[in-house]
Structure 1
Amino acid sequence: MSQKLSIDTAALLLVPPLMWASNAVVGRAVADMVPPLTLNFLRWFVALLLLLPLGWRVLGRHSVIWREWPRYTVLGLLGVGLYNSLQYLALHTSTPMNVTLVAASMPVWMLIIGRLFHGVAIRPAQVLGAVLSLAGVAVVLSAGSWAELMALRFVVGDLLMVLATILWAFYSWQLTRVPVDSPIRDHWAGFLLGQILYGVVWSGLFTALEWRWSDAQIAWSGGLLAAILFVAVGPAVIAYRCWGAGVQRVGPTVAGFFNNLTPLFAALMSLFLLGEHPRLFHAAAFALIIGGIVLSSHRRAR
């Protein structure tokens, strides 16, 4: 059962959008150096190696990750194999801003999937919160200008990101289906390692198909190695750890609203990289998105 949103949980859920904003920027930067499905495989293979010293005990013969292999197969497919593969594919034809814009529809998909597949009622406050949050995203992408918003154009990569976002919503709801008394639930490294272990198998299969049916090549360099290490540590291990813990505390619906901070963080990163300063519309967007989060997490008194 989800808990009330607390300050420490909010801080926990601020980490993933920050990491994923940087993931979109880095993914776009190395798009010409490494094939997208290969990048996803390398990212998670490195993450697997990093987690092994912390969670290797869960790999014993009688471990829950073997007994409940269907659960971890699905979690690995949705969260590791498909979502990130589709995102990197999307970044080959789309921009980080467009990708994060499409991902901002996540609260809507969280509500819909929760209602259709898990019987969770949609409250009016959550709908209003989604509207406020999406309005904040629109302010970021339009730079406060209606003309800029109307000038946005969508490409094939954006459609891939729509599919990725829907799959991520399914993944997040699946996290809540892990039994509370599961021996691995509170072992964050082991729980994540179990997902990655199956996810690497899926992403390895997708990578094999990519090299079989395309002219895939890798342009190795120090910059590419640094990028792979970064996306393995930050957007993978750290972000997934914080997201999983946050979802288990407050549920996927409330957590999904935090994802709408991703385009704001992406825009701010671009500003600082260009040596510019935040503007008034950034503050307005932040207020709208935070307002949506607060409103969606508010519970009526019984």
Structure 2
Amino acid sequence: MPRGIGLLILATVLWGGNYICGRFLADALPPTLLNTIRWAISTVLLAGILAVNKKSFPLIANWKPFAILGFLGVFSFSTLTYLGLHSISASQAGMISAGIPIAILLFTPLILKERIRVKAWIGALVSVAGVIVLFQGKHAAASSGSMLGNLEILLSCFAWGLYTVLGKRYGKTTDPLTLTAGAAFYGTLFSALSCIGTVHADSIHMTGTAWLCVAYVSTFASVGAYLAWNAGVRTVGPGRAAPYINLLPVWTVVFGVILLGEQLSLVSFAGGFITIIGAVLASL
């Protein structure tokens, strides 16, 4: 297996673990506090990597792109993901995350003015149909909480899609590592502000395992996955790398079933499969 492809697969595995840890931490930390702790640690690590590579960290000069990306990709995406994992399974959330490439597809012509092929639009429609089937599956008799969880994960996909497209625009003048570190810094600030008045001491129930999960999402699922993905993209090229993001929901389902003992109905499985097929078609 080529080294670059191995790195891309490793990144999706590490990102898949984020959903598992998020589900486990649902009862240990409020989503806003979890996100604040996670990205505060990640910001320190990313700033350290910048320092080691003797790169500047223009937090004031580049505050606008950093703040926009931090709000979308760090605060909105991660907080919505952790909120959704309070009421739906990691497997279900992972399958809905197959909509991320579709969100990128929708925002690309609007923001970057790039033409999208017909095959990609067909893939988008197939993927949307899969999400609709998915919503009817595991929670056919859905409670308001589970339906809200589905919506929160779906909105997180749109937040990440917008973050990715804008990141490509801002990346023309700033390297990816600096851009990610800046987004992490401002995203942490937004997350910390959201904790005011919403986090109470009696909502924190940390255990040794919970701390291990926090350590994982702050390092491997953030910095580690980022470095592996970007190294893989540099090796195989962005066009060849793009479809590998569709492995994310696959790993999430596998980990959810094995590690959390989650069950999937046949309708849910079918919906997730259709969603992933549509996302792969859109990425070709």
TM-score normalised by the chain length of structure 1: 0.73
Task: Find the partner of 2:101 among 92, 107, 112.
Answer: 107
Query: 1:237 is matched by which residue type in structure 2?
Result: V
How far residue 289 of structure 1 moved from its aligned partner, in angstroms, is: 5.0
Q: Residue in 2 aligned with 1:4?
A: none
Indicate the SS of the match to 2:203: coil
Q: Which runs of 5+ in 2 are unaligned?
A: 262-268
Structure 1 pair 179/113, CA: closer, same or farther in 2 (3 Å)? closer
**Aligned-residue CA RMSD (Å):** 3.8
How far residue 178 of structure 1 moved from its aligned partner, in angstroms, is: 2.3
Equivalent-residue separation in structure 2 for 1:37 and 1:79 (angstroms):
14
Q: Residue in 1 aligned with 2:49?
A: 54
Q: Residue in 1 aligned with 2:89?
A: 95
Matched, 1:80 2:74: yes
Structure 1 pair 39/138, CA: closer, same or farther in 2 (3 Å)? same
Tell me how many residue pairs correspond in the alignment.
Answer: 270
Matched, 1:227 2:217: no
State the identity %.
Answer: 29
Do the aligned partners of 1:114 and 1:173 also contact (CA within 8 Å) in 2? yes
Structure 1 pair 107/63, CA: closer, same or farther in 2 (3 Å)? closer
Structure 1 pair 223/193, CA: closer, same or farther in 2 (3 Å)? same
Query: 2:147 is matched by which residue type in structure 1?
Result: V
Equivalent-residue separation in structure 2 for 1:170 and 1:83 (angstroms):
10
Q: Which runs of 5+ in 1 are unaligned?
A: 1-6, 276-281
Do the aligned partners of 2:66 and 2:179 also contact (CA within 8 Å) in 1? no
TM-score normalised by the chain length of structure 2: 0.77
Query: 2:159 is matched by which residue type in structure 1?
Result: L
Greater Cα radius of gyration, structure 1 or 2: 1
Matched, 1:250 2:226: no
Q: Residue in 1 aligned with 2:254?
A: 268
Do the aligned partners of 2:90 and 2:253 also contact (CA within 8 Å) in 1? no
How far residue 245 of structure 1 moved from its aligned partner, in angstroms, is: 6.4
Structure 1 pair 119/57, CA: closer, same or farther in 2 (3 Å)? same
Task: Find the partner of 1:155 among 135, 144, 147.
Answer: 147
Q: Residue in 2 aligned with 1:185?
A: 175
Query: 1:20 is matched by which residue type in structure 2?
Result: W
Indicate the SS of the match to 2:39: helix
Do the aligned partners of 2:90 and 2:256 also contact (CA within 8 Å) in 1? no
